[in-house]
Structure 1
Amino acid sequence: MEHFDLIIRGGSVVLPSGETIADIGIKGGKIAKIAANLEGEADQEWNAAGRHVLPGMIDVHVHFSEPGREHWEGFTTGSAMMAAGGCTTFFDMPLNGIPSTVHTEALFDKARLGEEKSVVDFGLWGGLVPGNEEDLLPLAASGVIGFKAFLSTTGNKEFEAVDDMTLLTGMKKIAELGKVLALHSESAAITNWLKEEKEKAGLFSADDYLETRPIIAEVEAVERALYYSEITGCALHFVHISSAAAVSKIEEAKACGMNVTVETCPHYLLFNHNDLREKGTIAKCAPPLREADEQQRLIALLAAGKFDMLSSDHSPCPFDMKDPKDHNLFQAWGGISGGQFTLLSALELAMQHHIPLEKVAAWTASNPAERFGLSDRKGSIAVGMDADLAIVDLNEAFTVTEDNYYAKHKQSLYIGHTFPCSVTGTIVRGQIVVRGGEVMNAQPTGRWQKPVQAIVGDRELSAL
């Protein structure tokens, strides 16, 4: 009789083709067998009857601020939070650490900290900023997922926005390296000018903030980036897109055969501008939460398959940065704390709008793995893949409280929100990290995940 390390029995397993009741046998951190009534014994068994088993989420967009700003969020608290939400791999953005991840020394230092502290696997983005164009090749060869740049002012002196010449030069190099450039796409000229006009007039309300970051600013930046991509051949990934008009531009580019993907975030789908009006700075982000009618358009686009993936854009800070003097909304840190809730949000939307769970698995796992070079081991439930699994209960509601939110800082737009479902288990490469909705006191076993190396011409990237 075959022996396994762990058998997950009787769950409704979400495969690309749909759901099926099956057992999953896990051995050596990999999925060894999937079968109905699997014959075999195991060191551990998990009865998943009545629950669904999805591929562990891959969140391609989080901001953990270690090293340098661990008091905002670090790998220890951040990875526990991700695990509690059914996430088995996250990609950390390059900008909020000190130093930012714009050269290999910073990359390797961050990777070391991640492997020392993270309870789930992780990838690391590199940055494109003015002056680091010569660092792109060594960063790519060292294993970054891709590169991130800002078209709007960052508010972070360690990671400045790109000017047009840096962007074009960087995109040409990134194309040569076979990598993807992720872009925060809002027009700096439009947003900065509108902000200055409001500040001169002493206007700092929620409505004033929304008016300084209009949809047209997002559309202009997306369109400009697409023109530059057409010139340079650079693959693009648009992060946290918040408007149907911007999606339309991206859809046009895809129809022309351009190498472009797009994500949105749960906070644009579950919340809207009324939450900024009512709840204040915990709902401030950039781009901003849109009006309710735009929120509904985004939900319709998600259901229609126009977004490639969902990500949290978890961007926390100490609460005093969200509570500036004189209650000036413009001075408050702009970011949503909510990395634990992306898979739950996707499931809520699927349940409300009758969306098949295999689409949820695509948004949260298989599409990210395919886009960023991890599909040889991550993103789907199949024999030979890493045993990264999220076990969820679609019949047990979950209300977010400070006690069950694992982030370092508990102030969040999601506090008080009730999801119609819950995450009961998270398994990373065969290791049980979450059971019964609780993060286990396991040793950090997260590993740095590097994408399959790109081929540039007829040479391996690592050999360049």
Structure 2
Amino acid sequence: MLRSRRTVLPDGERPAAVAIAGERIAVIGDYDEPIPAHRTEDLQDLALLPGLVDTHVHVNEPGRTEWEGFATATRAAAAGGVTTIVDMPLNSLPPTVDTAALAAKRAAAEGKLWVDTGFWGGAIPGNDADLKSLHDAGVFGFKCFTAPSGVDEFPPLDAAGLHRACATVAALDSLLIVHAEDPAHLHDADAAVHSHGSQASPRSDFGRFLATRPEAAETSAVREVIAAARATGARVHILHLAAAEALDLIHDAWLDGVAITVETCPHYLHLAAERVPDGATAFKCCPPIRGEANRDALWAGLLDGRIDIVVSDHSPSPPHMKTGDFATAWGGIASLQLGLPVMWTEARARGLALTDLVRWMSTGPADLVGLHRKGRIATGADADLVAFDPERAWTVRAADLHHRHPVTPYDGETLTGAVAATWLRGARIDTDAAPRGRQLRRSPR
């Protein structure tokens, strides 16, 4: 049994005792209630949260394990209070676009998981016939791009392909998750500087890169996704939204009956373009980190419910791929271990509560993929739990993080809030012992 004076429950934060039987939460009582237990741990003023659920993680194994692998990614997740991840279908080789590739991915993950792990399938040109078999094999839905993905083996869908994928997904009662950028609005650096009337700047300048992927690229693609979802009845989810100007489009479509949800990421809610140093390619991601006014507008969307969830989009690469300039460096941010303290640093400064973080980072993502025993402290739920010190200030050292390569834009930054311990299905995660994470499969909705 775990006791905490700051237990975050579905109905709010209060002192409570959480009793665990086997892998599930059996009883939730008052903090001082004499519930029989063979072992009790009193966390006192450490907060007790449900484990985070991160539905946007690029593990990259097999095929690009030198970028990131299941052992390193899930160890970082556990250290950051994340007890469930769902792995993206790229950048592994082969990508998860058919059942043979899914089988290869599951084989690669066996015995390496520190946290429970599920898988997305991929929707690319020409694999329409594979979506049903992937669905039957237990993927949680299908990811597609509307612009080049950065790897040749995972090409984007055009408008017709997007409509076909939506129709298939609707027939399966599945979910299509979309990297929404319109290639017609993407520019090379020279054209972007010219079209925005900017002064020429060094190629390493972040502002020059930002101009290559304007907000209009996201808004235009979101509009196309909405049209396809409206025409087919598909459930769709917009990934890693960076452009706040698209929020009203998404919300209006939802009010009109389109089954659409949207996520954003800690880096869009914490970082701002004005504070990215020239040449600091660890900050590069696609879509890009935008300005402070846009960041504040994303927070407004989160607070009024127009944004549903917050997940990492953990997309690491070897250090040599993050060097050079913003035009050529790999576009991905490694942050799986840091999402909770990054978000708490921002939320606390805004007068928000741990209950807000749990809704955005635990319960919401779990519900998105139908893992209703995850992401909540409730009787019958999996005993995935996190002891979190909301008062501790600490400085990030990239070399101390558990993902494969010591590259992150948060290196050297002081954050507030630290994970003290993580439990997976009732057992405290001990990285000196054998990993006990399980592979998850989709359940009927």
TM-score bin, normalised by smaller chain: over 0.9
- What's the counterpart of residue 243 of structure 2? 243
Distance 2:255 2:231 in 1: 17
1:448 paired with 2:439, answer yes
Q: Give a deviation string over 1:288-335, Cα, whole Å, max 9, x none.
A: 1101221122122222332110000000000101113xxx42111011
Contact kept? 1:275, 1:283, Cα under 8 Å: no
Decide whether aligned partners of structure 1 residues 279 and 49 sit closer, same or farther in structure 2, where only a CA change above 3 A counts.
farther
Query: Is 1:253 equivalent to 2:253 in the alignment?
Result: yes
Q: Secondary structure at the match of 1:369?
A: helix
Shift of 1:273: 1.1
Residue 196 of structure 1, CA deviation:
7.1
Deviation string for 1:131-172 (max 9, x for gaps)? 110000000111101100001111201111112222111110
Distance 1:207 1:428 in 2: 42
Given candidates 352, 375, 380, the residue that maps to 2:376 is 380
Indicate conservation of the 8 Å contact 2:206/2:279, yes or no: no
Aligned residue for 2:277, secondary structure, equals helix
Alignment of 1:398-437 (within 5 A): 398-433=394-429
- For residues 141 and 202 of structure 1, what CA distance do their matches in structure 2 show? 51
Q: Which of 351, 356, 377 in structure 2 is aligned with 1:354?
A: 351
* Residues 115, 39 of structure 1: alpha-carbon distance in 2 compared, 3 angstrom cutoff: farther
Instruction: Using the TM superposition, give the Cα deviation of residue 422 of structure 1 relative to its aligned residue in structure 2, in angstroms.
Output: 0.8
The answer (yes or no) to whether the contact 1:115–1:446 under 8 Å persists in 2 is: no
Aligned positions, number: 438
1:301 aligns with 2:298: no
Q: 1:206: how far off?
A: 1.8
Deviating beyond 6 angstroms after TM superposition, the runs of 4 or more aligned structure 1 residues are: 199-203
Structure 2: gaps (5+ residues): 195-199
User: TM-score, normalising length from structure 2?
Assistant: 0.94
Q: Counterpart in 2 of 1:436? A: none
Query: Is residue 56 of structure 2 the alignment partner of residue 61 of structure 1?
Result: yes
- Worse-superposed segment, 160-169 or 98-107: 160-169
Q: Secondary structure at the match of 1:394?
A: strand
Question: How many Å separate the matches in 2 of 1:236 and 1:79?
Answer: 27
- Worse overlay, 16-25 or 82-91: 16-25
Distance 2:351 2:258 in 1: 31
Tell me the equivalent position of 1:364.
361
2:386 counterpart (386, 390, 400): 390
TM-score by length of 1: 0.91
Consecutive unaligned residues in structure 1, runs of 5 or more: 1-6, 434-438, 455-464
Q: 2:431 corresponds to which letter in structure 1?
A: M
Preserved CA contact (<8 Å) 2:4 2:47: no
What residue in structure 1 maps to residue 197 of structure 2? none
Hey, what's the Cα distance between the residues in 1 that align with 2:306 and 2:152? 34
In the TM superposition, residue 115 of structure 1 has moved relative to its aligned partner by 3.4
Question: Corresponding residue for 1:112?
Answer: 107
Letter matched to residue 8 of structure 2: V
Alignment correspondent of 1:462: none
Given the alignment of the two structures, is residue 95 of structure 1 paired with residue 90 of structure 2, yes or no? yes
Q: 1:272 to 1:382 in 2, by over 3 A?
A: same
Aligned to 2:231: 231
- SS of structure 2 residue aligned to 1:421: strand
> Which residue in the other structure is 1:3 paired with?
none
Q: What does 1:89-238 align with in structure 2 at a 5 Å threshold? A: 89-191=84-186, 193-195=187-189, 197=191, 204=203, 205-238=205-238
Contact 1:122 1:446 in 2 (8 A): yes
Other structure's SS at 1:420 match: strand
Q: Give the superposition deviation at 1:283.
A: 0.4
Moved more, 377-386 or 94-103: 377-386
Question: Do the aligned residues in 1 keep the contact of 2:192 with 2:211 (CA within 8 Å)?
Answer: no
**Shift in Å, 1:84:** 0.7
Q: State whether residues 114 and 446 of structure 1, in contact with CA within 8 Å, keep that contact through their aligned partners in structure 2.
A: no
TM-superposed deviation, 1:199: 9.9
Which residue of the partner structure matches residue 326 of structure 2?
329
* Distance in 1, Cα, partners of 2:83 & 2:169: 27
Q: CA RMSD in A?
A: 1.8
Q: Contact conserved, 1:64 with 1:92, CA < 8 A, in 2?
A: yes
Note the C-alpha offset of 1:346.
Answer: 2.4
Give the Cα–Cα distance (whole angstroms) in 1 for the partners of residues 297 and 165 of structure 2: 33
Q: Deviations over 1:353-383 (max 9, x none)?
A: 12232221110111111121111x2121111
Give the C-alpha shift of residue 42 in structure 1: 4.1
Note if contact 2:201-2:208 (Cα within 8 Å) is conserved in structure 1.
no
* Higher mean displacement: 11-20 or 72-81: 11-20
**Cα deviations by residue, 1:240-270 (Å, 9 ceiling, x for unpaired):** 1012211111111111121111100000111
**Deviation (angstroms), 1:348:** 2.0
2:23 is matched with 29
User: CA–CA distance in 2 between the matches of 1:329 and 1:356?
Assistant: 36
Match of 1:16 among 6, 10, 15: 10
Give CA-to-partner distance per residue, 1:35-71, whole Å, 9 cap, x none: 1234345454322100111110000101011001111
Tell me which amino acid in the other structure corresponds to 1:412: T
Contact 1:378–1:385 (CA<8 Å) still a contact in 2? yes
Q: Partner letter of residue 17 of structure 1?
A: D
Paired letter, 1:342: G
Give the counterpart letter for 1:391 in structure 2: A
CA contact (8 A) 1:303 1:355 kept: no
Q: Does the 8 Å CA contact 2:26/2:380 hold for their aligned counterparts? A: yes
Write the distance in 1 (CA, Å) between the matches of 2:110 and 2:350.
39
Shifted more, 299-308 versus 116-125: the winner is 299-308
| Amino acid corresponding to residue 160 of structure 2 in structure 1 | M
User: For residues 160 and 276 of structure 1, what CA distance do their matches in structure 2 show?
Assistant: 30
Q: Whole-Å Cα distance in 1 between the matches of residues 335 and 279 of structure 2? A: 15
